[in-house]
Amino acid sequence: MENREQTQEIARQEETKAQEFLTLANAAEVTNQVQNEAGAAFLKTIKGYISSIDTARKKLVKPLNDHVKWINDQFRVSNDRASQAETVMKKKLADYELKRRQIAAQEEARLRDAADKQRQKDLEAARKLEEAGKHQQAEAKREKAEMAPTPAVMEAPPIKGLSFSEEITIEIVDS
């Protein structure tokens, strides 16, 4: 607390001096060469005072900044390694997600092909039944073929805290 109180006392003293400079600057008049030269000298004094304030401030702040830098340096290696671990895991999870999506797409294509083959088979059977004069059975086969759903592959639930982006390209053609 002693440093804080000392700093506050120094700041109060400097504030008083700075107010004096401001009061004098506001009261100054520059209407002739003598006043102009005196004003230039006063300006030089003000600039010197500003420099001394900045030097005093930097003297007080430097140990704190040095300590902050030291603390940051102490944690830099840990933070870098943890960030690398995060990057590695994100890549592994993204690779797995890509592989899982590829497998799901392949399975969906396989199921769609199987459903299409069954649909074609049912339509062919309906055609043969129609040729044989079994219209009611042929209609039932045709309806079965038309109503057969395409099986969907179940998606795995997403992992919480992990997101993926998908790039979609759209071409707009002006007709």
State which residues of the chain have pLDDT below 70.
Answer: 1-2, 153, 156-159, 161-162, 164, 175
129 touches 138 (CB < 8 A): yes
Residue 121 placed within a domain? yes
Residue 29 placed within a domain? yes
CA–CA distance, 155 with 101 (Å, rounded to integer): 9
Residue 155 placed within a domain? no
- pLDDT (0 to 100) of residue 2: 66
Give the CB-side neighbour count of residue 115, counting CA atoms within 13 A: 14
Instruction: Write down the mean pLDDT value for the chain.
Output: 88
Residue 160 placed within a domain? no
Residue 98 placed within a domain? yes
For 64, phi then psi, to 5°, come to: -70, -45
Q: pTM here?
A: 0.52
CA–CA distance, 118 with 98 (Å, rounded to integer): 30
Domains held by the chain: number? 1
Residue 70 placed within a domain? yes
Q: Please name the residue ranges forming H helices in the chain.
A: 2-27, 33-131, 135-147
- pLDDT (0 to 100) of residue 137: 87
